[in-house]
Structure 1
Amino acid sequence: MLKGVAEATPSNPVSAYFEELSQVLSSMRVSDAEGKPIELQSGFEWVAETARKTQDAGNKLILIGNGGSAAVASHLAIEFVKNGGIRALSLNDPAAITAMSNDFGYANVYSEQLKIQGQPGDMLIAISSSGQSVNILKSVQTARAKGMTIATLSGFQPDNLLRNRGDVNFYVNSTQYGFVELAHHALAQAILDIYVFPQQAAK
């Protein structure tokens, strides 16, 4: 290998990209509903344990997000069901989104569904890169009123509105959508791989 090829310099954008992604993942922070810091492992364990308790109580997980975050929500819902044995669904079916948006406005596409789909004891995982999406914030408010537990995944500004709305809140310190979405997907997949799948395999 030529000298300097593996260095993260402007002439090596691939190495620079993955170096920045590594830094973004390392900067992830977790807090509780009062904004108090939580160890990352404790946050992971809370999500996994709450998901299992939700399933054991006969309830379900509901995942929501917009754009790339919606894709993450869909993928994770499938993983929880197929590999985790946990009831889960995402609320981003195109017909449902367009119907709710047409009748109630886009700000209510998830909250209106949650009014019907959500039950006390369900768990909501709300994903928003910016943490400022009105439809996600309104959904969290609806979930709270219905007695659901809530985990949030956000990024961009440290004081984004979603960051203090969940029982446990994961924050990614980046203003780039790609990095935030990758980090959200990685942390949720890590929770599944480390804490959920082994439990299911042991049954």
Structure 2
Amino acid sequence: MLDWIKNHFNTLHNLQLNTIITDQEGKQLSLDEGFRRYIRSVKAVRQLNSKLIFIGNGGSAGIASHLAIDYSKNGRMPAMAFSDASAITCLSNDYGYEHVFAKQIEFHGRQGDIVIAISSSGKSINILNAVAAARSLGCQVITFSGFTANNPLSHLGDLNFYVDSNEYGFVEVAHIGLGHAMLDYIIEEQSSGMETRNTLLAAVE
């Protein structure tokens, strides 16, 4: 049993460290550069009077809700998740489940918002439709996906995080781990004063 446990967590560790990150043009970025771009983008919503919008189905919906409240409460960034049961059932009934997130983005999204789309397979039609709706409003898009390397979602973001596994558990835990790691860095910046120093240095440069 112990060998299985060690192998399981070693696999998860390696998947997170070897996350494939690409930009909008498909250029692969280092883990360090991917983290930096993500952190810079999400922090900017404070100054731009914008917000983060997290979307996902099933387990990814849980991740979306979890990260939205943590980014709001602990990261001091306006964030929301479209996981309300009444909204989902209403919009599914009226427009079809494939439009359940796109419609909410049409209602609540604004230019400059960042839509963070989470899908283990990267093939969920309602997520792909939501990304299209976000683009039409001038939102930025960040994607988290897994399973097939060339899944549709993995090419649609300004920044794309792809976890190279076909197992839901590994992909979902890696996704929430990545989202938390980048938030934790932001929180450490805030608590140490490093964020203020970095802002001043950037202004001087």
TM-score (norm 2): 0.90
Provide the rounded CA distance (Å) in 1 between the counterparts of 2:117 and 2:56.
6
Q: Which amino acid aligns with 2:31?
A: L
Deviations 1:61-105 (A, max 9, x none): 100001111111111101111111100000111111111101010
Does the 8 A contact of 2:67 with 2:180 survive in 1? yes
1:20-55 per-residue CA deviation (whole Å, 9 max, x = no partner) reads: 222322331100111110111111111111112112
Amino acid at match of 1:122: D
Of 15, 18, 23, the match for 1:32? 23
Asked if 1:147 is matched to 2:138, the reply is yes
1:176 correspondence with 2:164: no
Q: Distance in 1 between matches of 2:99 and 2:190?
A: 35
Which sections of structure 2, spanning at least 5 residues, go unmatched?
A: 197-205
Q: Which amino acid aligns with 1:173?
A: D
Query: Which letter does structure 2 place at the counterpart of 1:148?
Result: C
Query: Pairwise mapping of residues 40-189 of structure 1 onto structure 2 (< 5 A)?
Result: 40-189=31-180
Judge which range, 171-180 or 13-22, deviates more.
Answer: 13-22
Contact 2:17-2:31 within 8 A present in 1 as well: no
Task: Give me the whole-angstrom Cα distance separating, in 1, the residues matched to 2:43 and 2:118.
Answer: 20
Higher helix share: 2
Q: Helix, strand or coil for the counterpart of 2:160?
A: strand
Q: Once the 2 structures are TM-superposed, how far is the Cα of residue 175 of structure 1 from its aligned partner?
A: 0.3
Q: Secondary structure at the match of 1:109?
A: helix
TM-score under structure 1 normalisation? 0.91
Contact 1:83/1:200 (<8 A) preserved = no
How many residue pairs get matched? 193
Counterpart contact for 1:85–1:200, Cα < 8 Å: no
- What do you get for the CA RMSD once the two structures are aligned? 1.3
